[in-house]
Amino acid sequence: PRVYNGWTKTKAKKRVDEDAAKGVATAFRCANTIIDDIAKMPLQVFNSFQGETRRIYPNQATRNNAYLLERQPNRWMDPITFKRVAMNWLLWWGNAYIWNPPSIFPELFILDASQTYPTFDQAGNKWYATKFPNGKEELIPDAEMVHLMINTKNGLYGLSVLEYARE
């Protein structure tokens, strides 16, 4: 296959990319089955200290990570929607970027994986470049980002199931 502007054209001259694959009922249903199953699973936070592992319980007053993952990741999403969106990006794009900006009201936001990528400054520090829906581009420090990836070949970014199959 030959690659044109980020999508692949097959011998049959058909466009093959993540959005086109979603139009194939089998691929769409398979992805949604995985996404729905993972979205239903609880995400619990644990802490391990001196060989002892303890669960961290949600605290609404502090909005700790357990609260964000189990009760309310941000003002607009419940935990199931949050996990569905993150898994959708992960399966179809190979990466999910979860941003935890510093704030007195902690929240988790899922960034557009097609507009976000890791980069390095001259000192070798990792940052994430992203373009927000309003067109604003920003560099986000590594400490504020959770980067989930699948099918990685270099540990810096993942490959979607389709990208991996094409290679």
Digit-coded pLDDT (tens) for 33-42: 989 999 999 9
Gyration radius (Cα) of the chain, Å: 18
Would you say residue 11 has pLDDT above 80? no
User: Does the pTM exceed 0.85?
Assistant: no
Cβ 68 vs Cβ 12: under 8 Å: no
Lowest mean per-residue pLDDT among 26-30, 84-88, 113-117: 26-30
Average pLDDT over residues 42-70: 93
From residue 6, how far is each of 11, 22, 128, 130 by CA, in Å? 17, 16, 20, 18
- The whole-angstrom separation of Cα 161 and Cα 167 is 10
- The whole-angstrom separation of Cα 146 and Cα 59 is 21
Please tell me the predicted confidence (pLDDT) of residue 1: 40
- Residue 93: band (very low, low, confident or very high) from pLDDT cuts 50, 70, 90: very high
Q: Which one has a higher pLDDT value, 68 or 161?
A: 68
Would you say residue 121 has pLDDT above 80? yes
Please tell me the predicted confidence (pLDDT) of residue 9: 53
Average pLDDT, the chain: 88
Segment 124-160, tens digit of pLDDT: 999 999 999 999 999 999 999 999 999 989 999 999 8
